[in-house]
Structure 1
């Protein structure tokens, strides 16, 4: 890999901050990129991209808010063009398993002519502890339009491990890794395991998409409610109810189990009411 800095776009997000920590701890030159970095990076302001890309050798790309949004392919196409112009050699794209627009973005990176690694991840376990569902867990009821679909929840720590490997080892060039956990769980199963670890009851209620969107819009506003509801409608039809072998193939070990995630999250105190 290049001796030039490794750019991490989305450096304060769930995956990005873990990747920055691992790379820095390993002695690599890292350039974090986000709204508050110097220079700053904003997906809404392409004029901010050249300064961030200049001089970097490789980049980890985590698109916000999610590659599932219709505008994502155009943004990724533009970023890739800037990356080529800036002389980057390798791209690692965080993608979403089962997401139509995410897979369009994968094809853009694959067709760029640059060395690349694609990380196609399932639903994050950390969504229950750091993201959209944290407050629901604290209140004791997870409510989603997910029916009884089973998901192979992936631990973000595994995503970070694979990303760091892909950014520092040429052997991962050209690979697409489907990252999942080692088990399929329904959201009711997940709630039960969270409840056992958290020490207070956590249940799960399946609701219709329209009802979910209306309730979410009151808390977050209509734009985010539309995005999250559409994502749920796309993903929770059973399309992801299979296990991938991305962690095994990339790292030569088994993925972290959801029960271990629950123990760690509970020990951190994040689920305390």
Structure 2
């Protein structure tokens, strides 16, 4: 914290500031004494409207970029790359991109960032622990006590988004230490989705279960929720690749950058349970 506090005059642009990762990056940045400039539609920023970018980026020292949910994956390299180049042209010196471990579809976006002309760092994260407490997966646990997902019995080192945010802020504020690097972050142990749900069940005292389903059945569930066919197909392809066992290993990025162990999944579960996350 001492090193980061020396950067109290830094202004950092945070895209997706109301989302799962962006919200926590903004909190971590403020705690480190940085001035946070949220890039959202509420502040006049729109990923699809390039005329809105300059006002948010001008005068900033650094920026956190997270893939925009409303921009399709095939367009992400062009859009993120264009924003990164504009940021560099306006004097933004450091750019940090959130990416995913094992996601080959994300590599063109990472390459676009690297070619933008600013110091860059990519943070490749394991599956978020907070996917069990925020977003579509949590609704099944709350309503019916069941998580239905096409992950089989694959193991994943679920990473706490608070750790991801702290790593991002360290990369933004540590000068050239992490420039041109890819940092892979994960939690401290491997869990299957069934084991993860079991830990939530034990902490909450609820009879929660995990039901693994084949991809085609999960596709029908997505369609029932109104997910467009093209988006559903992309998600199924993504899950199929990320959850094929390639990510069933630990990464040391949290310890490398923060000089401490990553938060355990059990800590996340206890905090979320206290907050009433999985109450019916």
Fold shared by both chains (TM-score > 0.5): yes
Hey, what's the Cα distance between the residues in 1 that align with 2:93 and 2:104?
26
Q: What's the offset of the Cα at 1:66?
A: 8.6
Q: Which runs of 5+ in 2 are unaligned?
A: 1-6
Hey, what's the Cα distance between the residues in 2 that align with 1:68 and 1:93?
17
Q: Is the 8 A contact 2:85 2:117 kept in 1?
A: no
Partner of 1:235: 242
Go from structure 1 to structure 2 and tell me whether the alpha carbon gap of 1:190 and 1:67 turns closer, same or farther (over 3 Å shift).
Answer: farther
Q: What's the offset of the Cα at 1:4?
A: 4.7
Partner of 2:42: 36
Hey, what's the Cα distance between the residues in 2 that align with 1:89 and 1:196?
46
Note if 1:199 corresponds to 2:205: yes
Hey, what's the Cα distance between the residues in 2 that align with 1:74 and 1:184?
35
Go from structure 1 to structure 2 and tell me whether the alpha carbon gap of 1:35 and 1:66 turns closer, same or farther (over 3 Å shift).
Answer: closer
Q: What's the offset of the Cα at 1:100?
A: 1.4
Note if 1:75 corresponds to 2:79: yes
Equivalent residue in structure 1 for 2:190, among 171, 174, 184 = 184
Map 1:1-273 onto structure 2 (within 5 A): 3-37=9-43, 40-65=44-69, 69-138=73-142, 139-170=144-175, 171-223=177-229, 224-273=231-280
Q: Is the 8 A contact 1:68 1:99 kept in 2?
A: no
**The residue matched to 1:126 in structure 2 has which SS?**
helix
CA offset digits 1:21-44 (Å, max 9, x no partner): 22223322211111212xx22222
Go from structure 1 to structure 2 and tell me whether the alpha carbon gap of 1:14 and 1:69 turns closer, same or farther (over 3 Å shift).
Answer: same
Hey, what's the Cα distance between the residues in 2 that align with 1:45 and 1:35?
10
Q: What's the offset of the Cα at 1:79?
A: 1.1
Hey, what's the Cα distance between the residues in 1 that align with 2:46 and 2:203?
37
CA offset digits 1:149-181 (Å, max 9, x no partner): 111111001001111111122123232210100
Hey, what's the Cα distance between the residues in 1 that align with 2:105 and 2:82?
15
Hey, what's the Cα distance between the residues in 2 that align with 1:88 and 1:75?
17
Per the normalisation by structure 1, the TM-score is: 0.93
Q: Which runs of 5+ in 1 are unaligned?
A: none
Hey, what's the Cα distance between the residues in 2 that align with 1:29 and 1:156?
20
Q: What's the offset of the Cα at 1:3?
A: 4.1
RMSD, aligned CA: 1.8
CA offset digits 1:65-111 (Å, max 9, x no partner): 29982221111111122112212110011011111121221222223
Q: Is the 8 A contact 1:67 1:101 kept in 2?
A: no
Go from structure 1 to structure 2 and tell me whether the alpha carbon gap of 1:2 and 1:83 turns closer, same or farther (over 3 Å shift).
Answer: farther
